[in-house]
Amino acid sequence: MQEQLKRLGGNYLSDVEIFDLYEGKGIEEGMKSLAFSLTFTSFDKTLTDEEINPIIQKIIEQTGKEFGATLRQ
């Protein structure tokens, strides 16, 4: 999954790390809760929310389509 996230993140997404994996109470049976740290980098400029937010939205949408992933509420 990390490679797919890097692909979706484009040139600005420099690192993807899973920092939490949870299965158990509060999570539907057969499902896992994963938490990712995404690091966005540009050597040319300071990145803005306006540049990064659409990339994050794309990652959320595509992981939903490819893996059935949803944001935990």
pLDDT digits (tens, 9 = 90+) for 13-70: 999 999 999 998 988 888 899 999 999 999 999 999 999 999 999 999 999 999 888 8
User: What global pTM score does this model have?
Assistant: 0.81
Domain covering 2-67 in this structure, CATH number? 3.30.70.380
Q: Hunting for tokens 């740290």 — which residue is that?
A: 37
Joined tokens for residue 68: 């059935």
Cα separations (Å) of 5 from 14, 28, 38? 10, 23, 9
Helices assigned H by DSSP within the chain = 2-9, 49-67
* Angle value at C-alpha 37, between 36 and 39, nearest 5 degrees: 140
